[in-house]
Structure 1
Amino acid sequence: MSNARVLCFGEILFDRLADQVGRSLEQVESWTPYPGGAPANVACALVKLGTPAGFIGCVGEDEPGDALVKLLQAVGVDTTGVQRHPTAPTRQIDVVRTESGDRIFAGFSGHDTTEFADTRLQASQLPVGLFEAADFLVLGTLELAYPDSSDSVHKALQLAEQYDVKVLLDVNWRPVFWPNPETAPETIKKLFKQIDFLKLSKEEAELLFKTTDPGAINYRLDSVEGVLVTDGEHGCAYCLSENEGNVPAFAVPVVDTTGAGDSFVAGFIHQLCQIGIHCLADPQMAKKVVTYANTVGALTTMKPGAIASQPTAAEVEAFLNSHP
């Protein structure tokens, strides 16, 4: 029986970060691989904060796949939901970085986006027991781009509904993952009736809703319990149980922004696991939850890599106590 309170569904991969900052893909001389993939990042961040989490996804029967599964297990993430594909490789993505630390997803080292193991995730092999035991499902949208993994997304949503698992959708828009990026917005929008919380970047909000106002988005969707719109160094706007507000970002020395949004999601879900969704009805508690999530995201930007940089609950509390 799994004790994972949160299931994180989607891709796990290696981000190959350019060692030379501010250069184009062609100008980069060397790369350093860091474990990543938004749902895997969220799972690891949750465990480090103290909330048991499981990861559901597919990697290859190869050395990178072995390394990623071992990492999840070392962190303490439940890997019951990890599938292995005998021939498709584990995904690796080239990430170039700007002088300010922002990252640009530049390609897949000569591979086509459809060739990787994460696209082969099989709906028939999703472990039902994980959903029976879970409270939350955290879902990205990249797996909607491929037939097998898209089927698995819809199966996961069916299981979440069957076992009363709350769903947070993190849009995580990455055009480079989609064989036909122009089909993505309508494909993503079809999920909105099946989710409870929606997390968007400012750019994603504009793409999908033509507004960055979380209250307007919440009103338009009607069926969700909360909308979060993050905007990097400008913080997060939110509408949670009809409580609206904006929490500014903390000013910290940024080394690498990779995974900051995933850590934000983990911080938000961790707080809901700690104090319950009902707390969002209190305006002060809603703001406190988002402030906590902002803190987890900010601390993650202070070191390189998405997973290695994630803070513990004690580090988050210490930061909040020193930044009242």
Structure 2
Amino acid sequence: MSEVTSWTPYPGGAPANVACALTKLGTPSAFVGCVGKDAEGEELVQLLQSIGVNTSGIQYSEQAPTRQVYVTRTAQGDRTFAGFGDKKADRFADAYLQAQHLPPKLFLEAEYLVLGTLELAYPQTRAAVFRALELAEEYHLKIVLDVNWRPMFWLDEQEALPLIEELWQYVDFLKLAEEEAQWLFDTADAGAISARLSSVEGVLVSNGDAEVSYCISDNEGTVKPIKVSVKDTTGAGDAFLAGFIHQLCLQGMQKLNSPQVAQEIVRYACAVGGLTATKSGAIAAQPSAQEVEALLQKI
């Protein structure tokens, strides 16, 4: 791309970003995915391990390389996904996660299963998603879904909507960007979406640095994110989600009935996302719990 002046490689990807952000905040996490037996895969695994993420759920592909995604960034820090270079979307290791090798022990020890929708794009990972949902049901995990819509990952975009809608019956907490909410529900109001999906316990609709609409245990409201100096928005939404899950783990489900607690949880998530946007490289930019508390005390 002629307007790009330089490329800097950063290991990451939404599931890895969330797992790392959780561990940095103090909530133990595990990453489940498939990487290639290559330098990029090794770098990601080493990074996860150095942060303290449980990597026992990682599978390795002998044939396919670790996925690399090109991301362009404006001077204002806004990012755009620019594709996969010269490879087709289904030619990467993460498209070959095998359902039969998901370790039940991870589900036994967990409280939450966090999913995106990209894994639905390929037959093998799709089977793994539904196997993970079976295990989550068996071990009584709460399901958190970040829609994380990325059309470039799909070979046939027409397949996406019905497959995403299959997940609604499983979801306990749903996070969407405003454009995803409009696409899927014709509204960006979290309360209206929650009413449509009667089984969910929480809905978050984010929109960059604009207000977050939330509905948690029937407590509805909006939170205006704290103003920060934005350098790179890559991974900020993943960090926001990690902040939310971290607070769910700390507060416990019983406290979600409190309107004040619901608002504090979303404000905390906004602080984690905001701080991540102040530095480059999604995982490298993620804050500690102390940095988040320091920012919240300023307001």
Pairwise TM-score range, normalised by the shorter structure: over 0.9
Structure 1's unaligned 5+ residue stretches are 1-24
Match of 2:60 in 1: 84
CA contact (8 A) 1:235 1:294 kept: no
User: What is the one-letter code of the residue matched to 1:312?
Assistant: S
Q: Cα distance, 1:311 vs. partner?
A: 0.4
How do residues 270-309 of structure 1 correspond to structure 2 at under 5 angstroms? 270-309=246-285
Report the TM-score when normalising by structure 1: 0.91
Describe the superposition over 1:187-228 as per-residue Cα deviations: whole angstroms up to 9, x where unpaired. 111101011000000010011011101111100110111100
Aligned counterparts of 1:94 and 1:47: Cα–Cα separation in 2: 26
Describe the superposition over 1:163-194 as per-residue Cα deviations: whole angstroms up to 9, x where unpaired. 00001000000011111123212211110101
How do residues 234-249 of structure 1 correspond to structure 2 at under 5 angstroms? 234-249=210-225
Match of 2:290 in 1: 314
Aligned counterparts of 1:130 and 1:181: Cα–Cα separation in 2: 32
Say which SS state the counterpart of residue 11 (structure 2) adopts. Answer: strand
1:184 and 2:160 equivalent?
A: yes
User: What is the one-letter code of the residue matched to 1:136?
Assistant: Y
Identity over aligned pairs, percent: 58
Aligned counterparts of 1:271 and 1:209: Cα–Cα separation in 2: 26
Q: Cα distance, 1:87 vs. partner?
A: 1.2
Equivalent of residue 35 in structure 1, options 2, 8, 11: 11
1:165 and 2:167 equivalent?
A: no
Aligned counterparts of 2:190 and 2:213: Cα–Cα separation in 1: 7
1:223 and 2:199 equivalent?
A: yes
Aligned counterparts of 2:3 and 2:13: Cα–Cα separation in 1: 25
Q: Cα distance, 1:79 vs. partner?
A: 0.1
Match of 1:108 in 2: 84
User: What is the one-letter code of the residue matched to 2:244?
Assistant: F
Aligned counterparts of 1:278 and 1:286: Cα–Cα separation in 2: 11
Q: Cα distance, 1:30 vs. partner?
A: 2.7
User: What is the one-letter code of the residue matched to 1:200?
Assistant: L
Q: Cα distance, 1:256 vs. partner?
A: 0.2
Report the TM-score when normalising by structure 2: 0.98
Say which SS state the counterpart of residue 148 (structure 2) adopts. Answer: coil
Aligned counterparts of 2:139 and 2:57: Cα–Cα separation in 1: 17
Structure 2's unaligned 5+ residue stretches are none
Match of 1:136 in 2: 112
Equivalent of residue 238 in structure 2, options 262, 266, 270: 262
Q: Which moved more, 1:267-276 or 1:27-36?
A: 27-36
CA contact (8 A) 2:11 2:40 kept: no
Corresponding residue pairs, total: 299
Say which SS state the counterpart of residue 234 (structure 1) adopts. Answer: coil
Describe the superposition over 1:238-288 as per-residue Cα deviations: whole angstroms up to 9, x where unpaired. 000000000001110000000000001100000111110221110000000
Aligned counterparts of 1:147 and 1:75: Cα–Cα separation in 2: 31
1:146 and 2:122 equivalent?
A: yes
CA contact (8 A) 1:264 1:297 kept: yes
Any runs of at least 4 consecutive aligned residues in structure 1 with deviations exceeding 6 A, and if so which?
A: none
Say which SS state the counterpart of residue 35 (structure 1) adopts. Answer: coil
CA contact (8 A) 1:41 1:307 kept: yes
Alpha-carbon RMSD across the aligned residues, in angstroms, is 0.8
CA contact (8 A) 2:112 2:141 kept: yes
